[in-house]
Structure 1
Amino acid sequence: MSKRKYNPEYIKYGFISIKHQGEDLPQCVVCMKTLSNGAMKPSLLKRHLESNHPEKNDRNQSYFERLGENVKKRRLDQTGQNYQKMTGIVKASYEVSLLVAQNVKAHTIAETLILPAAKVLVRHLIGEKDVAKLESVSLSNDTVKRRINEMATDIADQVTAGIRASKYGFAIQVDESTDITSCCQLLVYARYTQDNKVKTELLMSEELSATTKGRDVFNILERYFTENELDWGNLVGCTTDGAPSMLGRKSGFQAYVKAVAPKATLVHCYIHRFALCARVLPTELLECLNRNIKLVNFVKASALNTIICKALRRSRFKSQMSSLPHGGALAFKRKYDKTSL
């Protein structure tokens, strides 16, 4: 059975349209009663007006249009103007919170800088009367923090849902290292297919509070898999570094992974392989590499060395520029800008 569509001319009978489960329903602007989709006929709508509101029968169309606008403002569903206004306010709050997180700024910057700056721009470019609209956007410290946490949780749910839906399985890359604050961080990246595309996303990041043995790393990852309903049987690959806690035959992380995912291919990270290859370089290349490393370390060891080196580069640049014609000088400058210390 085909669904009837609302015609804007039905307003002269005192009816506007309301969405319900994907179909248009006529709503009376006088008594607020909602009829079925089958009643979306001029004859039935006119009968309702004459039978239930005979005193309104002689009213013109503009009268019903004013009533219809008031009804739309009071609606609580997605067609209501108040709902649409609140949706825009909440969306603006989320997008500003996202900018704060992307630029790694303090949460208070939204309320102390972004909102006042937005008011200044609106006041001078749009008008003073529109500045008041920004007052309804919540950008407090707690609100921004809550928005960022909610977005992070949503992204994590999307990643785990994509991994579960991947028809070719997924692979992980695991690494744990201790930062300058003596905090041991465990990072796990996942690679999977979604919509016929290969995606690489951060799966989890967690602190290792005690030891960093292979069993400790595996227990954290196994708990995460259980909480997010990820199947070890769908794991097709696992990449780690060359630490004994990762590659140990009996108690290494890869040994525990092989026990629960026998079909997974265990790989040693190629970046670490490059580092191992550098240890067996020919004598000539190794001496050249060590000399460059010492030079860079000496320059970067102190701020004074860095400043002096930059000054030498600038003076050398100016002397070379002065000896070139105008066109050659521009070409040399472009090449110089692309170089790094």
Structure 2
Amino acid sequence: MKSRIDDTSADIKRQVIENFKSSPMFAIQLYEFTDVASISQLMVFARYVHIDAIEEEFLFCSPLTETTTAADVMNLVFNFFSKEHLDCGKLIGVCTDGAPAMLGCRAGFAQLVKENNSLVVSTYCFIQRQALAAKTLLKGLQGDPFSVIKVANFIKGSALQTRLFHKLCKDMDAVHSSL
């Protein structure tokens, strides 16, 4: 079974890379996060033209093993490009999550990419803006949504609380039993 999964995964990756290579241009979106093991990870998604449509695919995920500077991110991305023989000259856009290492105006990833290709357009992920806006709402506007978020975080914060919530829902004959 493992062999089949590995073969399927390799085939999907090969197809995505082939389509990506045949595109006249592409853009990437980067998201840096820390996983449950406190290891920084970098996820890269790509948008490219395939036949007559714009495709969006997951490109790769890789750990940032030491530091999370813009140079580290740049090395990971461009090492992947060189390993897969992808043409960096086709890069026209970069979307980042807004972390200083990504967006910094002097030494951020977006700026480093622009130094290599001044035509690249950099943007800031819209979802991150919504999250930041929600954190700065006036106290009077926060109300119920934040109570719901606190309860959900409490329940999902530990395996025991999740199991107890599941049991409570079953005991109450609820239609749903998990968050």
Quick one: distance in 2 between partners of 1:229 and 1:273?
34
Quick one: distance in 2 between partners of 1:311 and 1:160?
46
1:246 to partner: Cα distance: 0.7
Secondary structure of the structure 2 residue equivalent to 1:286: helix
Query: Please, which of 11, 14, 39 is the counterpart of residue 157 of structure 1?
Result: 14
TM-score normalised by structure 1 residue count: 0.46
Compared CA separation, residues 288 and 203, structure 1 to 2 (3 A)? same
TM-score normalised by structure 2 residue count: 0.83
Compared CA separation, residues 293 and 153, structure 1 to 2 (3 A)? closer
1:181 to partner: Cα distance: 1.5
**1:298, 1:305 within 8 Å by CA — same for their partners in 2?**
no
Match of 1:268 in 2: 124
Structure 1 residue ranges, 4+ long, deviating more than 6 angstroms after superposition: none
1:312 to partner: Cα distance: 6.8
**1:237, 1:266 within 8 Å by CA — same for their partners in 2?**
yes
Would you say how many aligned residue pairs link Structure 1 and Structure 2? 176
Letter in structure 2 aligned against 1:163? F
Spell out the pairing of 1:89-238 with structure 2 (5 A cutoff): 97=1, 107=2, 144=3, 147-167=4-24, 169-238=25-94
Q: 5+ unaligned residues in a row in structure 2: which ranges?
A: none
Query: Please, which of 286, 291, 310 is the counterpart of residue 169 of structure 2?
Result: 310
**2:165, 2:178 within 8 Å by CA — same for their partners in 1?**
no
Quick one: distance in 2 between partners of 1:237 and 1:285?
36
**What is the CA deviation profile of residues 22-48 of structure 1, one whole-angstrom value per residue up to 9, with x for unaligned ones?**
xxxxxxxxxxxxxxxxxxxxxxxxxxx
Which of 1 and 2 has greater Rg?
1
**What is the CA deviation profile of residues 305-334 of structure 1, one whole-angstrom value per residue up to 9, with x for unaligned ones?**
5146415743xx7xxxxxxxxxxxxxxxxx
Letter in structure 1 aligned against 2:89? G
**What is the CA deviation profile of residues 267-294 of structure 1, one whole-angstrom value per residue up to 9, with x for unaligned ones?**
1111101101102324332122222223
Quick one: distance in 1 between partners of 2:155 and 2:36?
21
**1:232, 1:260 within 8 Å by CA — same for their partners in 2?**
no
Query: Is 1:290 the counterpart of 2:138 in the alignment?
Result: no
Letter in structure 2 aligned against 1:185? Q
Letter in structure 2 aligned against 1:213? T
Percent of aligned pairs with the same amino acid = 35
Higher share of residues assigned strand: 2
1:202 to partner: Cα distance: 1.6
- Which range moves more in the overlay, 301-310 or 289-298? 301-310
Task: Select the structure with the greater relative contact order (CA < 8 A; seq sep ≥ 6).
Answer: 2
Compared CA separation, residues 261 and 159, structure 1 to 2 (3 A)? farther
Q: 5+ unaligned residues in a row in structure 1: which ranges?
A: 1-96, 98-106, 108-143, 318-336
Quick one: distance in 2 between partners of 1:285 and 1:340?
28
Higher share of residues assigned helix: 1
Compared CA separation, residues 213 and 196, structure 1 to 2 (3 A)? same
Query: Please, which of 105, 110, 115 is the counterpart of residue 259 of structure 1?
Result: 115
Compared CA separation, residues 292 and 235, structure 1 to 2 (3 A)? same
1:261 to partner: Cα distance: 2.5
Quick one: distance in 2 between partners of 1:229 and 1:281?
46
Quick one: distance in 1 between partners of 2:125 and 2:71?
20
